[in-house]
Structures are given as structure tokens and as C-alpha cells.
Amino acid sequence: QRGIISNNKKLIVYPKTGDIEYYNLEKDPWETTNLINKKSSTVEVKKLLKQLKDWQVKVGDAVKVSEKI
């Protein structure tokens, strides 16, 4: 799994299954409500996915993460 936290938002990607989870840690610190299917989350999820992929390139992590939202 790969994950990133930025501005109290958390994105977790599971490369083997293609699953993605997205949480607003400010409103949901226990990560009980996955917001990945909310249309209002799309822009932030895309931003976090890009940040995660940029980090993977920087550190040489070749694991492919899903781009489907």
C-alpha cells in the first residue's frame, strides 16, 4: 500500500487491488468515512495522487498505483 497526507487529507492506494481510500482527517480523525466516491473529492484526490506519484519517482518506487477514482 502507498499513502500520503497533506492538509489534513489522507489518500491510501492499494496497488494489488486497485482500491483507493480518501479521508478528511480534520472532520474524521478515526478514518471511518471513506470519501473516495464523493464527486466533491475528485479534485483533491487527483492532487494527492499526483503528489504521491511525484514522490514515487523521487525515491525510485516503481510500484504502479491506480489512477481510477
Report how far residue 4's alpha carbon sits from residue 9's, in angstroms, rounded to the nearest whole number. 8
| Single-letter amino acid, residue 27 | K
State the pLDDT at residue 69.
67
Do residues 11 and 49 touch, judged by C-beta distance below 8 A? yes
Per-residue pLDDT tens digits for 3-56? 999 999 999 999 999 899 999 999 999 999 999 999 999 999 999 999 999 999
Provide the CA 58 distance to its chain's centre, in angstroms: 17
DSSP per residue over the chain, as a string? -EEEEETTEEEEEETTTTEEEEEETTT-TT--S--TT-GGGHHHHHHHHHHHHHHHHHHT--PPPP---
